[in-house]
Amino acid sequence: MMLLIIMGSIFVLLFMFALKKKWPKSHLIYHGIALISALIFGNISALTIYRVIRDNAVFMTKVHGIFLNPFFLITGAYLGVYFLYLIASQIHKEWS
């Protein structure tokens, strides 16, 4: 499973980079998806932390329930690959 996650992130990054070369407007779509993902990711995190503080959860084990939220995982995964994409794009831009 770990290998699948690592290889998946590499292949998605390469796919995003190749699609940008073939269709330059995809760059704007990537930014839009990243904005929506960041909003969802941040709001889920903030709401979970708020509930822990509101409920006065002493050991704060409830905060780990956030990792069971599929929206949190999907948006976090996209943001991770998106940041790698931005770094690769910058490297390519400076190399050219």
User: What are the Cα distances from residue 36, in Å, to 30, 72, 77, 91?
Assistant: 10, 12, 13, 25
Which residues, 6 or more positions from 11, have their beta carbon under 8 angstroms from its beta carbon? none
The residue with greater pLDDT, 31 or 56, is 31
Residue type, 78: Y
Q: What is the pTM of this model?
A: 0.87
Which residues, 6 or more positions from 23, have their beta carbon under 8 angstroms from its beta carbon? none
Predicted confidence at residue 82, as pLDDT, reads: 96
Average pLDDT of the chain to the nearest whole number: 91
The residue with greater pLDDT, 21 or 41, is 41
Using CA atoms, how far apart are residues 29 and 44, in angstroms rounded to an integer?
22
Structure tokens at 84: 């790698």
Predicted confidence at residue 58, as pLDDT, reads: 66
Q: Does residue 57 surpass a pLDDT of 90?
A: no
Using pLDDT thresholds of 50, 70 and 90, give the confidence band for residue 54: confident
Using pLDDT thresholds of 50, 70 and 90, give the confidence band for residue 83: very high
